[in-house]
Amino acid sequence: MVELAPGIALNLYLLGALGMAVGLIAGFSGVSGGYMLTPILMVMGMPAPLAVGSSVALMSANNLIGVIRHRRMGHLDLKMGLITAAGTMGGAEIGVRILHGLQGTEGRVADIVVLGVLILTLVLVGGSMLREVIRSSRTLGEDGQSAADEGEVHTAACDFLQGLTIFPHIRFTKSKLRISAWFVLAVGMGIGVLSGFLGIGGGFMLCPALIYLIGQPSTMAVGTNLLGLFVGLAFSTFRHGMLGNVELGVALSMLVATGAGTFIGAKGTSHVKGLAVRYVLAASVVCAIFGPVCTLLYFLSGAGAWDTAAKILTIALMIVPVSAVVTLLIMARRRVRGLEVAPWAARLMANGAQH
């Protein structure tokens, strides 16, 4: 147990187990998992500024691992990544300042505002993800290939933005596109504000934004997204460290657990289709909403039952995406070994999956 303040103690074993679960989902879905981590730390009793600071510190280290791996694989557009990073850094500074301003207010205003904005973000993102996943699974053809499963995506928004020749209109050779740097900077800045204020990495929003708004190919967007997020998160860690908002012991002990989970989860991604990854991501975002809602109700009403419900729901609902990932990993392993797999699982497995 780590005693943060009189009456506030964290169970490190429980945090380690939850960290591993977060890592498993994050590694499988290619996100940093902050939208699960911050609520977990808050539900476990950490005050909002400490939960946000520690979550950001943990994710900066976790994202660095992702950046190193994707650079080796060549999935990194350095030029676009650095412009996104400049945006996330600026945005993170704004987010940290807003949170610091709220810290000075009386009562649990900071906790309530952070949770409220987090819930709103998760509802909006989770809702749109669920809609997209349901649409994609309907269009899943008989050959098991979804129209929106892999490859480049061309939306009206990215065609429009690429058509606007506002200086500096830069050619990104690795991503094979030309767009004004201001749009890339603005996307990064928006995500940076959320990263500094809510302690979420924002990968579950930045990656789709790079694909659907900027028009970057999916494979390049994953690495570029991680670089942009890493710089923003490292800067947020620095700023939260300045304000004493980072619990280094908690962040480091959870890092080992999330690192191990990410390692196992990332291994499974190559065996499944993009749609399976999006199923898990949508389920994890939707499941992450209920715990913070109960905590928010506890802060507003003061009824202890909501606090208990928040703890139970946060842990219980983690089981949904974790068991989905574990089941898919087991099915992928069976398929690689030439054993029989369930028909629903076979539809979600990548063609020509290898070890």
Partner 1 sequence: MWVRNGGLLSAATAALITAVIALGAWFFIAHRSDWRMWSAGASPVLAGAVTMGVMLIAGILLAFALSRAEAAILLGRQHGGDEGSGD
Work out which of 244, 302, 308, 336 binds partner 1, going by CB under 8 A: 244
Of the pair 240, 273, the CB lying nearest partner 1 is at: 240
By CB under 8 A, is residue 237 in contact with partner 1? yes
Residue 349: CA atoms inside 13 Å, Cβ hemisphere, count?
Answer: 22
Q: Which of residues 6-25 bind partner 1 (CB under 8 A)?
A: 12
Least separation in angstroms between CB 256 and partner 1: 5
The encoded tokens of residue 95 equal 């987010």
Q: Which of residues 260-299 bind partner 1 (CB under 8 A)?
A: 263
Interaction mask 123-162, partner 1, x per CB under 8 A: ----------------------------------------
Of the pair 239, 278, the CB lying nearest partner 1 is at: 239
Task: State the Cα–Cα distance between residues 244 and 110, nearest whole angstrom.
Answer: 16
Is the distance from CB of 26 to CB of 261 less than 8 angstroms? yes
Residues that contact partner 1, how many (by CB under 8 A): 34
Is the distance from CB of 25 to CB of 34 less than 8 angstroms? no
- Give whole-number Cα distances, 140 to 232, 243, 285, 347, in Å: 37, 49, 22, 9
By CB under 8 A, is residue 200 in contact with partner 1? no
Of the pair 2, 312, the CB lying nearest partner 1 is at: 2
Task: State the Cα–Cα distance between residues 181 and 38, nearest whole angstrom.
Answer: 31
Least separation in angstroms between CB 3 and partner 1: 8
Least separation in angstroms between CB 4 and partner 1: 8
C-beta neighbour count of 168 within 10 angstroms: 8
Task: State the Cα–Cα distance between residues 25 and 32, nearest whole angstrom.
Answer: 9
Determine which helix (DSSP H) or strand (DSSP E) holds 8, and give its type and residue range: strand 8-10
Least separation in angstroms between CB 84 and partner 1: 19
Least separation in angstroms between CB 252 and partner 1: 4
Is the distance from CB of 150 to CB of 218 less than 8 angstroms? yes
Interaction mask 54-93, partner 1, x per CB under 8 A: ---xx-xxxxxx--xx------------------------
Burial class (CB in 10 A: 0-12, 13-18, 19+), 151: exposed
Query: Rule CB under 8 A: which residues touch partner 1?
Result: 2, 12, 57-58, 60-65, 68-69, 234, 237-244, 246-253, 255-256, 259, 263, 355
